[in-house]
Chains A and B, each alone.
Chain A
Amino acid sequence: MSMAPQTAHPPLPAARAGATEPAAPITAEAEASARQARKKNRLVALAFLAPFLVAFLLFVVWPMLHGFYLSFTNQSLTGAGGNFIGGGNYAEAFSDPKVWGSIRNTVWFTIISTVPLVIIAMAMALLVNTGLPGQWLWRLSFFMPFLLASTVISQIWSWLLDPEIGLANEVLQTLGFEPVAWLQTPHLDLISITIATVWWTVGFNFLLYLAALQNIPEVQYEAAAVDGASRWRQIRSITIPQLMPVTGVVFVLQILASLKLFDQAYQMLGGVSSDTSRPIVQYIFEAGFVGYEFGYAAAISYVFFALIVVVGIVQMTIVNRRKGE
């Protein structure tokens, strides 16, 4: 069960660069040698940092800057265009109903997915934390879906929710109800995707809550019990208040994750692009790789990024104010 094989890889390029350095001096005998040592320290640090920094510059920093530049051009995926057109793409984006529609869909999905993803996760963790037998089973059932690829969960849920022969509709019909086109009805489709998403990712929040619950000192419960507090009273007065910090964290992480909706929506809707369900990431994808308008897609990317940053800042402010109180 040891994970040694994956851990002991000697880092490649820097290993060689660093190995040429002789041992660092331990005592600085004179000013000159101290300066020498500082210079050498810098070189050693650079050798350690170089591989990561090169990758960081190439695959994060440069794309960030270049994407920003592209958003001011009419660059096409076909290679045509590439002229600077000022804020034209942004002007177009702000008057494009598809941009506003996809932002609305994304925010709506974030709201209706975050609430159950926090509440159900907390309920699961509270129940599991009572120490009921079957710990292994609870963790397996709640967390396992989280580890699966979006493709796998999309296939399973597309099958369960198939309008003709899916299990959900067969059950409804057996009970005497009309079948429902879960993924083909405007507005309902996003709710169906929310259900699948809650099933898929709730296990992550569940584990965060479980860890927080384990950190509440047992003595507090003992003291409360001595004072005659009922179990329910203990949960209300000890557990829930102490879960507030982790609830803040779970909310922040969940909202940021939900805003990035793409995989499961795209796949469960079969790549269909509808104004009532298209998330903003899907619109970036469509503008860039279906419409070939790279400049415009880059501009929408930055609108999306602005949305993430604004939400992030608002959340930080709220969390910090809470801490201050």
Chain B
Amino acid sequence: MTTATSVADVTDIKRQAKPGERRFGPARIAAFSVLLLMALTWLFPFFWAVVTSFKTEPDAASGRISLIGEGGISMQAYEKVLSEGNIYIWAWNSLWTSLVITVITVAISALAAYAFSRLHFRGRTTLFFAVIASIIVPPQVLIIPLYYEMLAFNLVDTPWGLILPQIVMAPIVLILKKFFDAVPIELEDAARVDGAGRLRVFLSVVLPLSRPILGAVSIFVFIQAWNNFLWPFIVLNDTLLMTLPVGLQTVMSAYGVEYAQVMAQAVLAALPLILVFLFFQRQIVQGVATTGFGGQ
């Protein structure tokens, strides 16, 4: 989905005090306190998950409110999860399938977006409208016929059955087309006068200029693929093919009330995305703010 095309840098709010406002007035202190309280509230569930994951199972199940249980800080839950479960396999499945989805999605979307932006052919408007209109179709509406299709292709319970239905992301085409529209055409004309074909121009002039936007959409496609639940849950049955979200869901019920282990898993599963966020905070925040992409 695309929203206002704001380009303000939300990662760089430098403004200190607004006019008519004191640097350390009571209003500012009140605002700060409210904000801090909200931030702590939002961080708390993470914090509690981490605290629980370092308890022994009896301590976690005791129900007593404590930061450190009677058994002290314990690595038991992590040891158990890492030695017994399939968490490595699921993480690997998630990683490689999400990367493949990202590469294919961004590649085919960029090519199509370039055609919609620059090439003239009959039916361009109609076709583009059809692609954009498909954004209104929720993926949930397609699960029944898609499953049927995957049965016909013999792709149920295979990695490609997982990957292929996820490579069509119309919002990405729209975002990239808007970006290409804004690239000065003179740059391309210069290259074409020199005899470069369309593909040459696309690869060596347009793509290099588009690195930031391609990076931003890649991060989003990756996160979306990594977190996707419904389709992988439906199309995969083999435990060894499952992605992390689907795999973890199967053990949530299996472990029952072994909450230290469940929380250790949750923390391990959250860790990669927390790292991605810490590394790419600026791109992610800016990407959401400018494209409005990523609505769940």
**A residues apposed to B, CB below 8 Å:** 1-4, 6-12, 14-15, 18-19, 21-24, 26, 41-42, 44-49, 51-53, 55-56, 58-64, 66-67, 70, 75, 124, 127-132, 134-152, 154-160, 162, 164-165, 167, 170-171, 174, 199, 201, 204, 207-208, 210-212, 214-215, 218, 221-222, 224-226, 228-231, 234, 245-246, 249, 253, 256-257, 259-260, 262-263, 267, 270-271, 281, 284-285, 288-289, 294, 297-298, 301-302, 304-305, 308-309, 312
A151 near B9 (CB under 8 angstroms)? no
Q: Is B146 an interface residue (CB 8 A)?
A: yes
Chain B residues touching A, majority SS: helix
Q: Which of chain B's residues has its CB closest to A279's CB?
A: B140
17 contacts between A and B (CB under 8 A): A7-B210, A7-B218, A11-B111, A58-B149, A127-B31, A129-B13, A139-B281, A142-B38, A147-B227, A149-B269, A154-B249, A157-B45, A160-B45, A165-B61, A215-B4, A226-B19, A262-B140
Q: Is B129 an interface residue (CB 8 A)?
A: no
Bound form: Cα–Cα A253–B3 in Å:
9
Known A8-B207, A21-B199, A63-B146; contact A211-B6, beta-carbon cutoff 8 A: yes
Which one of B70-78, B79-87, B114-122 contacts A?
B114-122
A60 near B134 (CB under 8 angstroms)? yes
Q: Which of chain B's residues has its CB closest to A170's CB?
A: B65
Q: Is B179 an interface residue (CB 8 A)?
A: no
A208 near B3 (CB under 8 angstroms)? yes
How many Å from the CB of B243 to the closest CB on chain A?
A: 9
By CB atoms of chain A within 10 A, which of B4, B120, B263 has the most? B4
B192 contacts across to A, CB distance below 8 A: 23-24, 26
Known A24-B198, A234-B20; contact A132-B28, beta-carbon cutoff 8 A: yes
Chain A residues touching B, majority SS: helix
Q: Is B16 an interface residue (CB 8 A)?
A: yes
A225 near B20 (CB under 8 angstroms)? yes
B52 near A45 (CB under 8 angstroms)? no
B115 contacts across to A, CB distance below 8 A: 45, 48-49
Known A127-B31, A288-B143; contact A215-B288, beta-carbon cutoff 8 A: no
Q: Which of A64, A150, A174, A230 lies in contact with B245, CB distance below 8 A?
A: A150
Q: Which of chain A's residues has its CB closest to B227's CB?
A: A149
Q: How big is chain B's contact interface, by range? A: 35 or more
Bound form: Cα–Cα A63–B138 in Å:
12
Q: Which of chain B's residues has its CB closest to A249's CB?
A: B3
Known A59-B165, A231-B21; contact A159-B262, beta-carbon cutoff 8 A: yes
A11 near B45 (CB under 8 angstroms)? no
Known A44-B119, A253-B292; contact A148-B270, beta-carbon cutoff 8 A: yes
B184 contacts across to A, CB distance below 8 A: none
A253 near B277 (CB under 8 angstroms)? no
Q: Is B137 an interface residue (CB 8 A)?
A: yes
A124 near B38 (CB under 8 angstroms)? yes
Q: Is B187 an interface residue (CB 8 A)?
A: no
Interface bits B162-188 vs A (CB < 8 Å: 1, else 0): 001101101001000000000000000
Q: Is B285 an interface residue (CB 8 A)?
A: yes
Q: Which of A23, A155, A221, A260 lies in contact with B263, CB distance below 8 A?
A: A155
Bound form: Cα–Cα A46–B288 in Å:
31
B295 near A253 (CB under 8 angstroms)? yes
A49 contacts across to B, CB distance below 8 A: 111-112, 115, 127
Q: Which of chain B's residues has its CB closest to A287's CB?
A: B144
Bound form: Cα–Cα A146–B285 in Å:
11
B290 near A211 (CB under 8 angstroms)? yes
Known pairs A170-B64, A284-B143; list 7 more (Cβ under 8 Å): A4-B215, A41-B121, A51-B108, A147-B223, A147-B227, A211-B6, A253-B1
